[in-house]
Structure 1
């Protein structure tokens, strides 16, 4: 009897605590395709990390909203991984505020998905699916507009510019000009006109959006020829979500007093 008890005690002592819940935070959209796309992406994440508790919360427009998702977890640990592509108001303010209001839940906020080489791989794949050819990179008339949502935060624009440079390198030196559908300039049509004035008439629009929505649709409508689909449920995106999750876990241990700021130190 005593031996059995000791064995049980040793088993309890060596049992690992469950991994923190991964809470993927999407913006939300009135486009009915957006929710389905994000759910497909999270299924890829679960396939890559079986057994990990992966949940979804939205900033607005779709349910479940982030506060409800966090309340549903209750106590324990969670990592909020923004399905957002750069720094901005949502990452700097909305997510830390939601984390700070999560009660007993110990929470980290990971860095946004971009910039990162995995995003560039997904952007490249979507361009190829839309009709971009590697030989286009050798043409003096080719270029790409990287269409992003836009933000008044200057760091968001810096992130988009860095991604544009990385995508240009991936395309063999093709000029890639970041442009925006709101809150920043140049707009996508203005970027297309600027490239045309430089003799760039075979221009593709790369959709720097996680899922379909109003901004992605607006950007695609402006494309003169090739309009790539949003990043969506691409395997590189799923790997990147887990990378950001693991990065956040590797940082300092969470405490409710530290939740007023996201972990934005590592962005590659």
Structure 2
């Protein structure tokens, strides 16, 4: 067999961004902008989007459209929880093609890079007795809370001020309770760092409780796109393949 007769080498697996889904139309546009940024950074990759609920395309439909093309699923979720542990693996197991599932985006220094950048955009500067509440969605899963707490510690180390988690639902403390706890420590300038991928009800409700300033959701920041690609490559190297159904 000559070189020209050799079969073409297979390309890299498709990258499937797995978003939660939202009734807020800004969420879908934000996720699509993030997907476009990933494509700009890695034009040789086939990049797709699938939602767990509420928005189309749903993840099973995206996987069905890929047919027998291998894929790496990267959750646009910021910690471990039910969707990462149950929903996404179950959908992947039903796919025709072999798949790998990357870890959630947080905790990671690139996530902290984005949180820091969004705070700076909102007007953050360290002031006497300043502090931050890291506003997250919340989960009943203790590992999800551990992930948020670790992200808070990383952000605290970056900013040099206390950072407490505050949750929108399903976990405590709430954002309001975290603000109260920081005030009880004598912290007067308290910002809310929005640890949400995209705009939505939870992000808006948490931002409204900021005593000083609130940052925008993470969105299509370059560090987020870089983090997605890092999780993709890491999954290719380390995660077992889910066999085709």
For 1:252 and 1:179, the matched residues in 2 are separated by 31
Task: Give the structure 1 partner of residue 41 of structure 2.
Answer: 48
Task: Give the structure 2 partner of residue 62 of structure 1.
Answer: 55
Task: Verify the 8 A CA contact 2:100 2:239 in the aligned structure 1.
Answer: no
Say whether 1:226 aligns with 2:223: no
Deviation at 1:18, TM superposition (A): 1.3
SS at 2:98 equivalent: strand
For 1:39 and 1:62, the matched residues in 2 are separated by 12
Match for residue 32 of structure 2 among 36, 39, 42: 39
For 1:84 and 1:101, the matched residues in 2 are separated by 21
RMSD: 1.4
For 2:68 and 2:11, the matched residues in 1 are separated by 12
Match for residue 148 of structure 2 among 160, 168, 171: 160
SS at 1:178 equivalent: strand
Say whether 1:198 aligns with 2:158: no
SS at 1:147 equivalent: strand
Q: Which has the larger radius of gyration?
A: 1
Q: What aligned pairs does 1:1-268 form with structure 2 within 5 A after superposition?
A: 6-9=2-5, 12-13=6-7, 15-103=8-96, 105-133=97-125, 135-136=126-127, 139=128, 141-171=129-159, 173-252=160-239, 254-256=241-243
List per-residue Cα deviations over 1:15-67 (Å, max 9, x = no partner). 32011000000001111100000011111101110120000000111111101
For 1:202 and 1:33, the matched residues in 2 are separated by 29
Structure 2: any 5+ residue segments left out of the alignment?
none
Deviation at 1:254, TM superposition (A): 1.5
Deviation at 1:168, TM superposition (A): 0.4
For 2:124 and 2:239, the matched residues in 1 are separated by 43
For 1:47 and 1:185, the matched residues in 2 are separated by 39
**What TM-score results when the alignment is normalised by the length of structure 1?**
0.89
SS at 1:76 equivalent: coil
List per-residue Cα deviations over 1:167-199 (Å, max 9, x = no partner). 00100x200000100000000011111111111
For 2:133 and 2:38, the matched residues in 1 are separated by 29
Structure 1: any 5+ residue segments left out of the alignment?
260-268
List per-residue Cα deviations over 1:174-226 (Å, max 9, x = no partner). 00000100000000011111111111110000000000111101100111111
Task: Verify the 8 A CA contact 2:78 2:105 in the aligned structure 1.
Answer: yes
For 2:171 and 2:48, the matched residues in 1 are separated by 32
List per-residue Cα deviations over 1:213-261 (Å, max 9, x = no partner). 111011001111111000000000000000000000001551428x9xx
Deviation at 1:76, TM superposition (A): 2.2
**What TM-score results when the alignment is normalised by the length of structure 2?**
0.97
SS at 2:80 equivalent: coil
SS at 2:208 equivalent: helix
